[in-house]
């Protein structure tokens, strides 16, 4: 049985990647495949403050940890420079991922082309770490363009997109707009599910994970 290893990326920052990661992790756990969750690069928090990985671990009941943390709320390249650190390299970050065995979910930071350094992005990291991508689309104006650009960028780099989760990140989506988004993405990506607009809780997560298991199971 091969390990399921995926990179959770978004169309932008603040689109619900952490909630999506927790839901996927819970769905996998319900299928008897509890993954370890990694936050590739956590920015915007001081040392000791709980980050996205800690939130996912509590919500999904799985092991979770960070690979790198910077205090500045910015892209990893800018945050590293602000901290006086050497910017991260895709291969070095991928080697850290290779140190973990078994099923793995790696949450990104912002979108797919967020810079790690002057020449590399998170897409380069995902490719170096041999991770398929799961795209999180925040349902708000502009998301169709952002989703299509992300899918095109992934295809040009031969980065496999395993599927897409839609998240009502600002408010409950209008039914007509949701139908428009699904129509535009049809045939371009597999829509794994739609996560509602509400603060995540253990009960809400379990409800959403139960629906997601049917879509995740064929990927294992």
Q: Known catalytic residues?
A: 39
The answer to whether the CB of 138 falls within 8 A of the CB of 15 is yes
Residue 16 CB partners (closer than 8 Å, separation 6+): 10, 136, 138, 167, 169, 195
How far is residue 103's CA from residue 96's CA, in Å, rounded to a whole number?
Answer: 15
Query: Hey, how many other C-beta atoms are within 10 angstroms of the C-beta on 173?
Result: 21
Q: Give helix 52-60 / helix 17-30 axis angle, nearest 10°.
A: 30
The answer to whether the CB of 40 falls within 8 A of the CB of 164 is no
Altogether, the residues listed in the chain come to a count of 220
Residue 204 CB partners (closer than 8 Å, separation 6+): 196, 198
β-bridge partners, 165 = 136, 193
Closest CA to 174 of 201, 189, 203, 194: 194
β-bridge partners, 134 = 8, 163
């Amino acid at each position: 049985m091969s390990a399921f290893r995926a990179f959770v990326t978004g169309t932008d920052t603040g689109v619900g990647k952490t909630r999506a990661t927790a839901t996927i992790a819970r769905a996998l756990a319900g299928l008897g495949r509890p993954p370890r969750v990694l936050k590739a690069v956590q920015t915007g928090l001081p040392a000791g403050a709980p980050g996205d990985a800690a939130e996912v671990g509590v919500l999904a009941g799985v092991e979770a940890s960070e690979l790198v943390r910077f205090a500045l709320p910015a892209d990893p390249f800018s945050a590293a420079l602000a901290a006086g650190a050497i910017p991260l390299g895709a291969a070095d970050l991928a080697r850290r991922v290779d140190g973990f065995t078994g099923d793995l979910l790696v949450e990104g930071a912002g979108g797919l082309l967020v810079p790690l350094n002057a020449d590399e992005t998170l897409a380069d990291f995902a490719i170096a770490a041999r991770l398929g991508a799961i795209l999180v689309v925040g349902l708000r104006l502009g998301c169709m363009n952002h989703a299509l650009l992300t899918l095109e960028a992934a295809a040009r780099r031969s980065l496999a997109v395993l599927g897409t989760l839609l998240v009502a990140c600002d408010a409950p989506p209008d039914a007509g707009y949701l139908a428009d988004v699904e129509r535009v993405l049809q045939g371009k990506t597999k829509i794994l599910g739609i996560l509602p607009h509400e603060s995540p809780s253990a009960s809400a997560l379990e409800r959403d994970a139960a629906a997601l298991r049917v879509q995740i199971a064929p990927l294992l």
